[in-house]
Amino acid sequence: MSRLWNSFKIAFAMYSKIPMPQAEWKEENMRYTMCFFPLIGIVIGALMVLWSYGAFYLEAGSLLRGAGYVLIPVLVTGGIHLDGLLDTADALSSYQPRERKLEILKDSHAGAFAVITACCYFLVCLGVFSELKKEQILVLAGGYVVSRSFSALAVAAFSPAGTKGTVAAFSEASKERCVEISMYVLLVLSAGYMCFTDVKLGAAACLGAWLSFVWYYRMSKRQFGGITGDLAGAFLQICELSMAAAVYLAGKL
């Protein structure tokens, strides 16, 4: 039980801003970290639903509602996944050899393409989320578990781009069948929740998540030779935006 509790604390301390007691970062404590990573998505989804009802009660306009939806995941996670998206944008836009792209991922400085990507990403997010209704947010709330379950599954199943880094450390610690099984169970449960809430919207969101996952696998393997923490963050941001866009489009059909 102590290993599970330590893995839980490490998952929330690493991937969220939710205060957690300290845990020693050693392999036995990190072994089940990915099992608890998707639970952060439950927190985000619950807050999204609460804000949808709060905004309705306050009679907030679509722009204010959309801003709240966009900011909630950033506030909960501290922007750790968004940082990965921006680093990935800089690396992909460099058109350099693989080794140089990996170096750019590790560079703490933000390039021009990172800034452009951030502006475009937030504009698209604000536009999409401003159009979503309360019922659509209720469906999409399960998507924050789906995106993190796919991300954790990739850490357990995909090859890392190197032997160093956060993903490499978690990948080595997560080489247990129970991690993959846990992610499949969470994927089924979260996708089932979305489809149970609304079959059409839930199916559209799942399709968007799956297409993002396929893109993630092919892009990381072709461009970088494997996954890294930054690439995982980029996938998570793209996946959540893809699900939101899919839910919006499905709602128009």
Q: Which residues face 160 on adjacent strands?
A: 227
Q: Which residues face 227 on adjacent strands?
A: 160
d(CA 25, CA 101) in angstroms, rounded, equals 28
- Decide: 208 and 81 in contact? Cβ < 8 Å: no
- What tens digit of pLDDT does each residue of 150-193 get? 999 888 788 777 656 555 555 554 556 778 888 999 999 999 99
Q: Report residue 32: phi and psi, to 5°.
A: -110, 20
**What pLDDT score was predicted for residue 33?**
84
Q: Can you tell me which residue has the tokens 């020693």?
A: 24
**What pLDDT score was predicted for residue 129?**
97
Residue 53 is encoded by which pair of tokens? 């009802």
Instruction: Name every residue whose Cβ is closer than 8 Å to that of residue 64 and which is 6 or more positions away in sequence.
Output: 55
d(CA 136, CA 251) in angstroms, rounded, equals 8
- Decide: 126 and 70 in contact? Cβ < 8 Å: yes
d(CA 6, CA 84) in angstroms, rounded, equals 25
- Decide: 38 and 149 in contact? Cβ < 8 Å: yes
The 8-class DSSP code of residue 23 comes to -
**What pLDDT score was predicted for residue 158?**
80
Number of H helices and E strands in the chain, helices first, is 14, 0
Q: Can you tell me which residue has the tokens 């036995």?
A: 28
**What pLDDT score was predicted for residue 5?**
84
d(CA 81, CA 126) in angstroms, rounded, equals 17
- Decide: 145 and 183 in contact? Cβ < 8 Å: no
- Decide: 194 and 205 in contact? Cβ < 8 Å: yes
Looking at residue 177, its amino acid is R
Q: Residue ranges of the chain with pLDDT lower than 70?
A: 1, 25-29, 162-176
- Look at residues 174, 143, 173, 176 and name the one whose alpha carbon lies nearest to residue 41: 143
d(CA 191, CA 147) in angstroms, rounded, equals 10
Looking at residue 160, its amino acid is P
The 8-class DSSP code of residue 160 comes to B
